[in-house]
Chain A
């Protein structure tokens, strides 16, 4: 029983660490800001997830208790990761107005980075 637990916990840690490593490597390898953003928002979710699952398994197998902290951490991560990514792209669109020229335009208007809800053009920095 202990053996199964040990194998499971180590496998989860190794899988998680591999994904975290690949995510960080993606930051180095991918060519520009927007593609780089894909690496940490995706590959690291499973990296952290693996570590959290390993922690839960450790408590179940070796301490005999159920630890639910980890579920909360992944819940908060799922809530906050998209918002961080959203802020980063908004900042990117603000400092690179030349990108804004080449974006596909929504029907009858512009993106909220460049236009206010009542149709005024936001100053481009």
Chain B
């Protein structure tokens, strides 16, 4: 990836030291939450971590994810939490009461409209956390996801359900 002689860095001092302002703020906040209290010392350590971690990991983030619509992102989180609760109850019912022979387990291929790597990661994570589905693999060209369904009577309906429920929303959040 890296050429032997990287071109001279054209970015300003601030951009170089704070490549991901949002990540810096998030890390500092997480540190303060971990410390469970506000103190000058805690804040200092938090800021040092918030500045150094994005710098060390910057080469893993060639582009920063641009979230376009924070309101929709928040609504998406709430939707996923609701679905996780429903998923837990459904899977618990299957484990406890369904005869194993009546389970329709199957592998399905979900073609992706998303191209943004962060959006695909969120989509795959959501699939794993929600009703009866685990995302297993990405196709070599990154255009499809392999998903295992615990109980899908109609695999096609399961695929279109995932696409309309989550992927369509993610497309609005990540441009």
Contact = CB atoms under 8 A, between A and B. Distances in A.
Given A46-B84, A69-B34, A78-B129, A85 B139 contact: no
Contact of A112 (B124, B127, B132, B138): B138
Interface residues of B, number: 41
Interface string A54-75: 0000000000000111011000
Interface string A74-114: 00001101110110011001000000001111111111111
Contact of B95 (A22, A71, A115): A22
Nearest to A76: B30
Given A38-B150, A39-B91, A89-B137, A104 B108 contact: yes
Given A43-B95, A117-B141, A35 B150 contact: yes
A117 B142 contact: yes
A34 B105 contact: yes
A119 B139 CA distance: 11
A105 B85 CA distance: 32
19 contacts: A19-B88, A23-B95, A30-B100, A34-B148, A35-B150, A37-B134, A38-B91, A39-B95, A42-B87, A46-B84, A69-B34, A79-B125, A85-B135, A89-B136, A89-B137, A90-B137, A93-B137, A103-B146, A106-B111
Interface of B: 30, 33-34, 36, 84-85, 87-89, 91-92, 95-96, 100, 103, 105, 107-109, 111, 124-125, 127-129, 131-132, 134-144, 146, 148, 150
